[in-house]
Structure 1
Amino acid sequence: MSVVIGVLALQGDVREHANALEQCGATAIGVRRAEELDRVDGLVIPGGESTAMWKLMRAFDLLKPLRKRIEAGLPAYGSCAGMIMLADRIVDGAAGQETIGGIDMTVRRNAFGRQVDSYESTISFAGQSLEAVFIRAPWVESVGDGVEVLGQVELPGRPEEGSRDDGPRHRIVAVRQGRLMATAYHPELTGDPIVHRYFTELVRQSRNNEE
């Protein structure tokens, strides 16, 4: 089945996500205006800077339409900053920072930022091994009962004495709740289609259920 998946084209790796989706058999289009949401069967929210993304969504009058479509059942996948935008709650967010919401989780913004700027790690995603690229990434502090954990990562290096990392060495970095999913890392940068294929199949199943 052919599905149309939008990539929110305000900032981030829009082209890379679109290419990955096309490789999985989807038709990918950029989304910048609310009316373009009516053309898509699913939506990818790429990485970037979550506070800038929030402000751009407000400037383009997209925040409320996005919330409405997602509440109505639009499948969505957020990577890195996109994960933050799909979280119901943020730790260390900017003053007044808003999200689209939808996933019952608490996400810590820039969680990896003070320890490393970026790194790669082999992790498991939904039972499959992949290379994950983390760039000033968030992590998930906690999830509600309806959220499925798809992947965790062991923190690199040793915790600094007295730092917030001086605790559990494994953090949640991939989740799913119904038609919504999110990763703290950037699968569009590795050429590995596992995450995009998973989301494309989720969109196809959602489309089948509606027909």
Structure 2
Amino acid sequence: MTLRDDSLAAPGAPGPRVGVLALQGDFREHARVLRELGAEVVLVRRAEDLDGIEGIVIPGGESTVMDKLSRAFGVAEPLKQRIAAGMPVYGTCAGLIMIADTLLDTIEGQQNLGGLDVVVRRNAFGSQNQSFETDLQVPALGDQPVHAVFIRGPVVESVGENATPLASLADGRVVAVEQGNLLGTSFHPEIQGDVRFHEYFLGKVRARVVAAVE
């Protein structure tokens, strides 16, 4: 199996050095948005790709496949260690599933990276042909609503005392949450043209870089 895609490896650039887990899913879209915001993007496929990055995005895709590949390529355990050590992480859709502490409706043997004090249910909105779009109020990002695209997305069934909801659907179901340097959304900001969640994540990365040198 080949996972190389050198055309997406960004050259040296000013700004934080941010990884995008590139084993499966829509990592290209995240890489594009992050580069447009001034980040240096590193495509992460093996443990050595984590060296020197200051934060990481875990994209949408198929969480079970991403879990298996992350373990097969030896990136899961070192990534867990970096999450526990406080590295900023942004998980979208499948990425939110991977960083949740507790999962519902998983397949046998599925594992997660953990770190985010939430219970998440996989495929909470049904099959892909039941995908939908809606506007969400996200006070942390300002008064302008966020247009959210849901594609076989998970939902946060419950939020632990260490985590904070950022956005909910009209029925009260939580679809965006944060906990310190961890950020998760059930939807796909990388395909909707609104970069505010990525900017918010990069703010966490920059803040940790500054704290590390003080």
* TM over 0.5, shorter chain: yes
Residue 80, structure 1, aligned to residue 93, structure 2: yes
Aligned residues: 197
Residue 141, structure 1, aligned to residue 143, structure 2: no
1:172 to 146, 171, 174: 174
If the length of structure 2 is used for normalisation, what is the TM-score?
0.89
* SS of equivalent residue, structure 1 residue 146: coil
Residue 48, structure 1, aligned to residue 61, structure 2: yes
Aligned CA-pair RMSD: 1.4
Post-superposition CA distance 1:102-158 (Å, at most 9, x none): 00100000000159621110002224311100000000000111111111112xxxx
Letter in 2 for 1:119: F
Contact 2:95 2:184 in 1 (8 A): yes
Contact 2:42 2:49 in 1 (8 A): no
What residue number does 1:12 align with? 25
What residue number does 1:185 align with? 187
Partners of 1:44 and 1:181 in 2: CA distance: 9
Instruction: Please list every run of 5 or more consecutive structure 1 residues that lacks an aligned counterpart in the other structure.
Output: 155-168
Whichever structure has more strand as a proportion of its residues is 1
Instruction: Please list every run of 5 or more consecutive structure 2 residues that lacks an aligned counterpart in the other structure.
Output: 1-13
Partners of 1:91 and 1:180 in 2: CA distance: 20
What residue number does 1:150 align with? 166
Shift in Å at residue 9 of structure 1? Answer: 0.4
Shift in Å at residue 39 of structure 1? Answer: 2.0
Partners of 2:35 and 2:74 in 1: CA distance: 28
Shift in Å at residue 207 of structure 1? Answer: 0.6
Partners of 2:18 and 2:48 in 1: CA distance: 14
* SS of equivalent residue, structure 1 residue 39: coil
Partners of 2:128 and 2:203 in 1: CA distance: 35
